[in-house]
Structure 1
């Protein structure tokens, strides 16, 4: 994908943002900025919930609560 593709995608996303509610509009404008390469961001994963301890039979371990 070349630079023209990303520029066009950014334009399309901004067109959609113009019709969106304020919360979605801001998210779409942020996305358009990323397509334009104006803002370099890295994805920060959400923290995961601790997994429940299970024994081999698939039942929860009584010591884990």
Structure 2
């Protein structure tokens, strides 16, 4: 099943090369969706590291 979605993603990219800007963006977004589906379960990308801690986000003087 992964190969099926990988093929669809590549076809969307191939079509995007010849498309107008609006359609190109939509096709590339579609290709990203197929890329995610082509990954085996459990191989999700890890979240990026947090740059600020939650306590610093709300440590300023609050407005009431």
Both proteins in one fold, TM over 0.5: yes
What SS does the aligned partner of 2:14 have? Answer: helix
**Which consecutive aligned stretches of 4+ in structure 1 deviate over 3 angstroms post-superposition?**
none
Unaligned 5+ segments in structure 1 are 39-65
Map 1:1-65 → 2, pairs under 5 A? 2-37=1-36
Provide the rounded CA distance (Å) in 2 between the counterparts of 1:5 and 1:23: 25
Aligned length: 37
User: What TM-score do the two structures reach when normalised by structure 1?
Assistant: 0.55
Q: TM-score, normalization: structure 2?
A: 0.56
Deviations 1:2-51 (A, max 9, x none): 0000001100010000000001000000000000008xxxxxxxxxxxxx
Point out the structure with max Rg over C-alpha. Answer: 1
State the distance in 1 between where 2:11 and 2:24 align. 13
Give the Cα–Cα distance (whole angstroms) in 2 for the partners of residues 18 and 6 of structure 1. Answer: 19
The CA RMSD measured in Å over matched residues stands at: 1.2
- Give the unaligned 5+ runs of structure 2: 38-64
